[in-house]
Amino acid sequence: MSEQQPPRGARMAPFWGTVLAMAAGALLPVLACGGVLAALLAAGSVVPGAARSVGSGPAVAIIHVRGVILSSAGALDSSAANAQSIIEHIRDASTNEDVRAILLRVESPGGSVVASDEIYHALNQVEKPIVVSMGELAASGGYYISANADWIVATPNTLTGSIGVISEFISLEGLLNDYGVSATTIATGKRKDFGSLYRNMTDDEKVYWQATVNEIFASFVDLVAAGRKLPRAQVQALADGSVYTGRQALANGLVDELGYQQEALRKAAELGGITGEPRTIEYSDEPNWLQLLQGFSGRSALPSRAEVLSLLSVPALQMRWAAP
């Protein structure tokens, strides 16, 4: 009697195990820096946290931008900066008659191009003084949202800059060939399956996508030059993706002062015409117990095979520092 073949699912298990292992390894830096895990863990959007007021009289609003900048983030992902929530805080502070100035506390490696631009746009609509206080890291999209502030304060050892755009793709073509797996794609145009997991990118596609990246990069350079009132050529020379310490950033005109959050708060009060110790209204996005329960009960924390493949095949444009 011939030996019975194992079921097809059992034969493909090593292949899928390898794919998922590669996906996990490839996605870890993206999950850490790109925040994709937020979308997989969350049951829904986060309701903005309440503002905490300390003191009396005219106030400085303190708004935090912590972690990777995403268009939205779930209640379980406290490591991401939820652009939707941050924008609501900005609008609330802008319309609050007690708030005379905004202190934007930035601790972020950047993130989504669109989310960073949405925050920048919201800040640009504010008619009150805006002061940025940079923490340990305010790079790429974190610098993008800061560039048009009235005053930027960085610590001597803050890492900032990283002016640039990054887009990454993963190809499983070699792995598929090793397992004898082929994929057939039927599309309406030569670029419709651009970025597909199942094949390597062609030289023509690389040129095409590089042009898109360059276009967004040029806008980034223009924005920094206008916001910092620097010659475009000077910004272009700095915009090779390098990060700069606070000291280097000050020397290159990317920040206005070396100091800490207290110095930034004093500057915001000064620009807002507040004498003495200002009242502070600090916005928080810490999830409440109901949001946490919703996040836990909404779905499994582990993505399915289909979700992993879908995430890997989406071309992402990011303004983020790609270091671990």
- Pick the catalytic residue from 192, 206, 242, 304: 192
Is the CB of residue 212 less than 8 Å from the CB of residue 184? no
Name beta bridge partners: 309.
none
Torsion angle, CA of 273/279/283/287, rounded to 10 degrees? Answer: 180
- Pick the catalytic residue from 85, 112, 116, 140: 140
Name the DSSP letter for residue 166. B
Name beta bridge partners: 103.
62, 131
Give Dmax over CA atoms of the chain in angstroms. 94
Whether 94 is catalytic is no
| Pairing, β 279-283 against β 51-54 | antiparallel
267 three-state secondary structure: helix
Residue type, 295: G
Is the four-CA dihedral 233, 139, 130, 155 of positive or negative sign?
negative
Whether 133 is catalytic is no
Residues forming the active site: 140, 192
